[in-house]
Amino acid sequence: MAELFESVNWALIAPLIVIQLILQVVALIDWFRIERTNGPKIMWLFIILLLNMIGPILYFVIGRRQE
């Protein structure tokens, strides 16, 4: 694994990490402001925080209650 880490050009990977961070932050802001979600609200907090990448997307697509 260490080799892989060394060989990776971090400038290439950085955008991926930045995007994921933005998604997570935006999802958190929205989670904080929204009144109700589909399913328990607290559950979605864990999904956003613990599932990288997929968590915030799942939240926006499924968790967010439309209107």
Partner 1 sequence: MMQFLTVFKREMLESGRNFKWIWVPLVFILLGLSDPLSTYYLPQIIESVGGLPEGASFDIPTPPPHDVLMMSLAQFSQLGVLVISLMSMGLIASERKSGVAELVLVKPVKYSTYVSAKWTATSVLVLVSLFAGLLASWYYVNLLFGDISFLHLLATWFFYGLWLLFVISISVFMNSLFKVPGLVGFMTIVLVILTSIVTTVLNHILDWSPAKLSPYIRMMLSEGNISGDLWATALITIGISIALLAAAIYTFRTKEMA
Binding test (CB under 8 A) with partner 1, winner from 47, 55, 56, 63:
56
Question: How many positions of this chain bind partner 1 (CB under 8 A)?
Answer: 26
Q: Binding string, 3-42, against partner 1, x = CB under 8 A? A: xx--xx---xx-xx--xx-xx--xx-xx------------
Task: Quote the least distance from Cβ 5 to partner 1, whole Å.
Answer: 9
Smallest separation, CB 50 to partner 1 (Å): 18
| Distances from the Cα of 66 to the Cα of 3, 9, 46, 58, 62, angstroms | 46, 40, 20, 14, 9
Neighbours of 45 (CB within 10 A): 18
| Burial classification of residue 20, based on how many CB atoms lie within 10 Å of its CB (0-12 exposed, 13-18 middle, 19 or more buried) | middle
51 near partner 1, judged by CB under 8 A: no
